């Protein structure tokens, strides 16, 4: 018996509310199922590229199961979230409209705040933002600043490349004919990525485009119970798409701030307050947690192991200079400028050399490396002691400074020398690097990184401890002398 199987085409019904669409090619490539889905009459979306430092991740089979927001979902989600935001939003300085009323000034303020807020807590940013805007209230004011001035203002915020890109971007835009007003044109500016472009375009120019940061990823993965790897490029593309569908076209800037605000406050990483969340009735993760005790809202997004931090080791020498010819006798500190590219580019630090782990544990090896460096760069021959006197040289202690991808182990020493002429360093060529020596007051006000500031504070505490020990020793000696008498 011959059985014949006939495959009939399945009709696709269209109506005015749910037109069929074809997904862009990159979503097809990432593994999303080729089916016709409901199109939303709202925002554009732009996939966010993976950053190199996020590291490689294993592909996920769950990306194809991520469903779009339906029209009904977005029509419920938008007013609920915006109503909550209007009633509960935090009072933050960058949310105030500029006194000039200019859209470009508004865009500049959003730009500065969003760059500062990357990888940094809101509480820590407020004072920095206020000081920044007081000094450089407009884009043109910032474009006239120097990199060193910007670094000094940024000191302590970390991720100093952000400050450099902000200055370079401002200088390039001042030369341009007009400020970019769309997310696509903003992404052409050096240092402005998809997230910052979306924030500026939506908040300042009312363009219905999404933003995706850690807070938005957390909210959307919980709303849709997305179990795929949030670091995987296909998952990120899918979340950008969902964020674009969700954006309210009538209030895109407020909506984007609202969803970020929700993630930063109620929908937190470890302790979400689902009972007061305006979107809890639409949250799939919350629904799953109520049905099963083994499921938790905090299971989303998927926890991904962070890349292992690279270990580096350095010998740091705080060189304190006492000048016999200075009438005021104010000591100076030697500082060197880091290269213009790479980690902490263009910032000032104490003389230091990178070492391997074995050398780092050997005091003699550390001092030898520092001696070579000081002799090569500054004509400071510690062995010959040419034109200077060695007052003291002592180990201060150890300090570990943590970057996003590096753990830097520093062994700190304090080297105090006395020179007879203030012109001692003037004969040193700057062919190796840029350097200067400054007094303690200048050092206190300089824009040093938190790591270098910590090293300086270590030497100050070490000095105070030595003074106290010396005083204690002198008192003990006086008592002994009196007893003998």
Name the nearest CA neighbour of 398 among 309, 314, 308.
Answer: 314
Name the nearest CA neighbour of 109 among 123, 129, 89, 85.
Answer: 129
Strands 332-337 and 406-419: what pairing? unpaired
What distances in angstroms separate CA 104 from CA 38, 168, 173, one per listed residue? 36, 17, 11
Q: What is the dihedral of CA 99, 205, 107, 82, to 10 degrees?
A: 80
**How far apart are the C-alpha atoms of 209 and 247, rounded to whole Å?**
7
Handedness of CA 429, 430, 433, 438 (dihedral sign): positive
Cβ atoms within 10 A of the Cβ of 141, count?
14
Name the nearest CA neighbour of 344 among 430, 286, 254, 408.
Answer: 408
Determine the straight-line distance between the first and last CA of the chain, rounded to whole angstroms: 128
**How far apart are the C-alpha atoms of 210 and 219, rounded to whole Å?**
14
Contacts of 308 (CB under 8 A, 6+ apart): none
Contacts of 140 (CB under 8 A, 6+ apart): 174
Q: Are 414 and 394 in contact (CB under 8 A)?
A: yes
Name the nearest CA neighbour of 282 among 50, 103, 453, 70.
Answer: 70
Is residue 114 part of the annotated active site? The answer reads: yes
Place of tokens 């999404």: 210
SS3 for 392? Answer: strand
Of 73, 104, 114, 232, which one is the catalytic site residue?
114
Q: Which helix (H) or strand (E) holds 354?
A: strand 352-355
Q: Could you give the count of Cα atoms lying within 13 Å of 288 in the half-sphere of its Cβ? A: 17
Kindly report the length of the chain: 485
Exposed e or buried b for every residue in 159-176, given b needs 16+ CB within 10 A? ebebbbbbbbbbbebeee
**How far apart are the C-alpha atoms of 178 and 198, rounded to whole Å?**
18
Contacts of 99 (CB under 8 A, 6+ apart): none
Name the residues annotated as catalytic: 114
């Amino acid at each position: 018996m011959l059985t014949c199987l006939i495959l009939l085409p399945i009709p696709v019904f269209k109506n005015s509310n749910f037109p069929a669409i074809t997904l862009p090619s990159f979503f097809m490539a990432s593994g999303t199922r080729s089916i016709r889905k409901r199109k939303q009459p709202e925002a554009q979306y732009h996939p966010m590229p993976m950053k190199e430092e996020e590291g490689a991740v294993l592909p996920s089979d769950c990306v194809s199961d991520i469903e779009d927001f339906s029209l009904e979902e977005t029509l419920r989600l938008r007013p609920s979230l915006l109503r909550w935001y209007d009633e509960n939003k935090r009072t933050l300085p960058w949310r105030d409209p500029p006194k000039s009323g200019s859209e470009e000034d508004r865009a500049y303020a959003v730009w500065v705040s969003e760059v500062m807020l990357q990888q940094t807590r809101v509480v820590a940013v407020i004072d920095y933002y206020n000081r920044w805007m007081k000094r450089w209230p407009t884009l043109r004011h910032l474009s006239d600043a120097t990199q060193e001035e910007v670094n000094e203002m940024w000191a302590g915020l970390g991720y100093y490349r952000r400050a450099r890109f902000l200055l370079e971007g401002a200088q390039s835009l001042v030369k341009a004919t007009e400020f970019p007003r769309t997310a696509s044109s903003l992404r052409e500016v050096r240092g402005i990525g998809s997230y910052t472009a979306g924030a500026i375009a939506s908040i300042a120019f009312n363009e219905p485009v999404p933003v995706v940061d850690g807070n938005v990823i957390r909210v959307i993965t919980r709303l849709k119970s997305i179990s795929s790897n949030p670091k995987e490029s296909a998952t990120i593309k899918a979340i950008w798409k969902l964020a674009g569908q969700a954006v309210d076209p009538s209030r895109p800037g407020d909506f984007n701030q609202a969803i970020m605000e929700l993630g930063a406050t109620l929908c937190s990483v470890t302790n979400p307050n689902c009972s007061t969340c305006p979107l809890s009735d639409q949250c799939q993760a919350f629904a799953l947690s109520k049905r099963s005790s083994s499921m938790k809202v905090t299971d989303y997004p998927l926890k991904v192991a962070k890349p292992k931090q690279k270990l580096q080791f350095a010998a740091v020498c705080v060189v304190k200079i006492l000048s016999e010819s200075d009438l005021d006798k104010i000591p100076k500190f030697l500082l060197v400028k880091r290269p213009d590219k790479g980690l902490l580019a263009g910032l000032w630090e104490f003389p230091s050399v990178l070492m391997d782990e074995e050398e780092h544990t050997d005091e003699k090896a550390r001092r030898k490396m520092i001696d070579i460096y000081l002799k090569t760069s500054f004509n400071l021959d510690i062995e010959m002691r040419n034109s200077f006197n060695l007052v003291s040289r002592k180990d201060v202690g150890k300090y570990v400074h943590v970057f996003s991808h590096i753990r830097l182990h520093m062994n700190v020493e304090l080297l105090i020398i006395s020179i007879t002429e203030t012109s001692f360093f003037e004969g040193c060529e700057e062919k190796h690097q840029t350097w200067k020596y400054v007094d303690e007051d200048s050092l206190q006000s300089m824009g040093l990184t938190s790591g270098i500031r910590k090293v300086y504070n270590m030497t100050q505490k070490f000095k105070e401890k030595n003074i106290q020990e010396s005083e204690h020793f002198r008192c003990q000696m006086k008592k002994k002398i009196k007893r003998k008498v």
